[in-house]
Structure 1
Amino acid sequence: MKDRSDQPGLPLPTPRKQGPFAALRSSFLAGLVVIAPIGITVWLIWTLTGWIDSWVLPMVPYRFRPEHYIGINLRGVGVVFFLLFTVVIGWLAKGYVGRSLLRLGEQIVDRMPIVRSIYGGLKQIAETVLSEKEARFDRACLIEYPRRGLWAVGFVAGPAKGEVGRQVPGDMMAVFLPTTPNPTSGFLLFIPESDVHFLNMTVEDAAKLIISAGLVYPGRPDLSLQENIDGKSTVS
């Protein structure tokens, strides 16, 4: 089909003017794009601080609260008390007396059948996630899941260790495959290292991609999916 601009004597098509309702709708959507992230972020922070206050403030004596002196219930005071309390506990846990008390408490908990399993699992998770010595989930990757030809974004936890590493032949990688839109749940998969294709995007960018259900593609636009699969995009 020929372009009408190449034919002499034919008028060029004029762009359709936007009506007042369409312009109003466009402005509303543009404003919503700006307001929604800010409003949701403020609401989450406000709700989280209120939830922490509701747990912490009842355990703080009234004479130590600001409303005892100024008569105003300030939101976020419980968060401040929680942070100070956590810092003090961490400082005490590093000392000899704190370590001795902690070992004594763990020995008592270890004698409780159900409690020791819950405490031991939570402690191991906390030490793994909050450890300052070794980074976790520092690489995003692509794996073929749930079958060949279908690709999923995952987070590399590291090489398989312990009994899993001894039982499974070859070099295996532990990959956490999160679900959409909640990346805190998912599947733990042990995959041959040759089948793990590392991505150049950060873990934060991969999380955005997962949470948005594929609507947000952060990272470098000059790298295609096929380049990542072929291994041209690697983590330095």
Structure 2
Amino acid sequence: MKRYFITGLLIWVPLGITVWALKFLITTMDQSLLLLPTSLHPESVVGVYIPGVGTMLTLLVVFITGLLTTNIIGQRLVLFWEGVLWRIPVVKSIYYGVKQVSDTLFSSQGEAFRKALLVQYPRKGSWTIAFMTGYPGGDVTNHLTGEYVSVYVPTTPNPTSGFFLMMPKSEVIELDMSVDAALKYIISMGVVAPDNGKKHPAPSQYPTPPQQAALLHGNSSPAGTPADD
């Protein structure tokens, strides 16, 4: 009975979370319909609410914005708009702070979140997965000796919170692992481990307690294991 219940949970929990996330995303993006006159809303045109219309409108607006800002006229309009925002005290701080972060994250030439690393945190001998976000800059570099990298250590199961660290480059290990695989590993709390082609030994292959005691005392042929002739 318990096994069947757990099996059912393994099917429905991921499905339920996926449906909830999609519903939240679509509902949020559908709010863009508020920018249109009421006469153009799906309820007024076809007489029924159609989920996803606002999502399509949002994606279309984003695409057209990117298309327009790739030419000279669009770039000048963006500069004019940013100049207006620069004159508003509170808005200026929020807008340019978010813009710097988004430019760093989404830039194809940036280093942010392009590499998964293995670092020792929070103490020596304890390892965790981190993401490289760049290199220290400003006056910070005047107080660091040697080559350092900036890393983000996410928490689990919520990787959107974490810790920002500057670590010596010699103390971080670059992993042959995609960022997506590393995120899955973190979110699953280590349950969904990336496949590297290696298999862990079966429980019967682990040394028994008498064998472990013999190994600790320096005996290369522990009790219960025949010695080589």
In the other structure, the counterpart of 1:45 is: 22
TM-score, normalisation: structure 2? 0.78
Question: How many aligned positions are there?
Answer: 200
Instruction: For residues 13-58 of structure 1, give each alpha carbon's deviation from its aligned partner in whole angstroms, at most 9, with x where no partner exists.
Output: xxxxxxxxxxx332232222122212210121012211221x2122
Which ranges of structure 2 fall in alignment gaps of 5 or more residues? 201-229
Write out per-residue CA displacement over residues 191-218 of structure 1, whole angstroms, 9 at most, x where no aligned residue.
1111001222222222122222233322
Contact in 2 for aligned 1:174/1:189 (Cα 8 Å): yes
TM normalised by structure 1 equals 0.76
What are the within-5 Å matches in structure 2 for residues 71-150 of structure 1? 71-134=47-110, 136-150=112-126
Please state how far the C-alpha of 1:74 moved relative to its aligned partner: 0.5
Distance 1:141 1:133, change over 3 A: closer
CA contact (8 A) 1:143 1:153 kept: yes
- 1:34 partnered with 2:7: no
Quote the residue 1:10 is aligned against. Answer: none
Give the distance between the partners of 2:22 and 2:111, measured in 1 at CA. Answer: 26
CA distance in 2, matches of 1:135, 1:192: 17
| C-alpha contact 1:175 1:190 (8 A) present in aligned 2 | yes
**In the aligned structure 2, how far is the partner of 1:165 from the partner of 1:91?**
39
Partner in structure 2 of residue 205 of structure 1: 181
Which of 154, 174, 191 is the aligned partner of 2:167?
A: 191
Structure 2 SS opposite 1:222: coil
The answer as to whether partners of 2:111 and 2:134 remain within 8 angstroms in 1 is: no
What pairs up with 1:131-170 in 2 under 5 angstroms?
131-134=107-110, 136-170=112-146
Q: 1:39, 1:122 → 2: CA distance?
A: 32
Residues 134-161 of structure 1: CA deviation (Å, up to 9, x unaligned): 3531221121112212222111123334
Q: Would you say 1:66 and 2:66 are equivalent positions?
A: no
Distance 1:52 1:210, change over 3 A: same
RMSD across aligned positions (CA): 2.1
Would you say the 8 A contact 1:201–1:220 is kept in 2?
Answer: no
Letter in 2 for 1:26: R
Gaps of 5+ in 1: 1-23, 225-236
- Whether the 8 Å contact between 1:200 and 1:219 is mirrored in structure 2 is no
Contact 1:144 1:152 in 2 (8 A): yes
Matched, 1:218 2:201: no
- Measure how far apart 1:166 and its partner are: 4.6
- Report the AA paired with residue 127 of structure 2: W
SS in 1 for 2:193: coil
